[in-house]
Amino acid sequence: MTYQNVVNTARARLASILQQAGHHGAQRPGLAIALVLGTGLAIGTGAGIAGTAHLRAQVNQQQAQIEATRREAQREVNALAARLGELQAEANRLNALGERLTRIGQLQDGEFDFDKPVGVGGAGPVEDMPKAELGAGMTKLQRQFAASGEQLSVLESLLFNRQLDMNAVPSREPIANSYITSGFGGRADPFNGGRANHKGIDFEADVGDPVLAVADGVVSYSGVRSGYGNVVEVDHGNGYVTRYAHNSRLTHGVGALVRAGQEIAKAGSTGRSTGAHVHFEVWENGHVVNPRQFLNEKSPLKG
């Protein structure tokens, strides 16, 4: 029953009582007045109690709803606060990484500010977090991420340029713990005994041994070439291309980015080969060159 219904019912009862009073009033006006007053008081009290109780129930219900909504909103805020904590931990990690890179790269530009403390992160809030604080935290974190991102980009390019000379020139061995079985240049052809120009150097290997990229680069060929068997070629982007032949298996397709020392094939004896080995060539601006000049100064293979 709504409050309006209560009022309407009370009015109807009052009207009928007034009618009765009018009927009796002709003879006994005093009784009529007493009836009206008494009834009015009864109606007023009755309607008042019923209406107040009803209103109170409504108010209680609304308060419960408001409280439930508030709790729900706070749960969401707390969840966001926990996420903020995670992001802050991530920011800390990034800063630590940047700091380490700066140290490794021995950069002393004063351009990097990785020591600057970032917000407290980790466990997340124990008490409810005010929304305003959450918003401020998010904004601060966003700025930190942007700053860290910029710093890391600059750092990366600096380190990349520094590493480029070291890693983009063929300066490593294409296979670990090996030795040269055949050098570069003129030699007796191992098949027909005639004179032949050996365009690379051969390294001793067992079938399945990892063949390693001698410098950073991108795989520019991966497949079979006449005489070479399964061959992989890496373009180092600075005029140098290296070729690794007679593999039993090729592990990287054209376009794959490879790092110095990374496995790019499994050694084997495919193509024109008398036994498992790695045939290694270095091309410089389209001309085949003696790979030996690029081998690491400290390498026993250099000798």
Please give the residue ranges that form the binding site for Zn ion (CB under 5 A). Answer: 202, 279
Nearer of residues 85 and 291 to Zn ion, judged by Cβ: 291
Nearer to Zn ion, 173 or 202 (CB): 202
* DSSP code per residue over 258-294: E-TT-EEEE-B--SS-SSSEEEEEEEETTEEE-GGGG
Residue 172 or 279 having the CB closest to Zn ion: 279
CB nearer to Zn ion: give 202 or 216.
202
Compute the least distance from the CB of residue 169 to Zn ion, in Å: 21
Minimal distance in Å, beta carbon 204 to Zn ion? 12
Q: Is 186 helix (H, G, I), strand (E, B) or coil?
A: strand
Q: Which residue is nearest to Zn ion (CB)?
A: 279
Q: Which is nearer to Zn ion, 112 or 184 (CB)?
A: 184
Phi, psi of 284, rounded to the nearest 5 degrees: -125, 115
- Listed in sequence order, the residues at least 6 apart from 20 whose beta carbon sits closer than 8 Å to its beta carbon are 35
282 closest CA partner among 230, 243, 227: 243
Q: How far is CA 141 from the centre of its chain?
A: 16
CB of 243 to Zn ion, least distance (A): 10
Task: For the CB of residue 200, give the shortest distance to Zn ion in the complex, in Å.
Answer: 5
* Distance in angstroms (rounded) separating the CA atoms of residues 280 and 242: 7
Element (H, E) at 154: helix 131-167
Calculate helix-pair angle for 131-167, 29-105, nearest 10 degrees. Answer: 20
To Zn ion, the closest distance from the beta carbon of 299 in angstroms equals: 18
Pick the closer one to Zn ion by CB: 216 or 281: 281
- CB of 273: closest distance to Zn ion in angstroms? 8
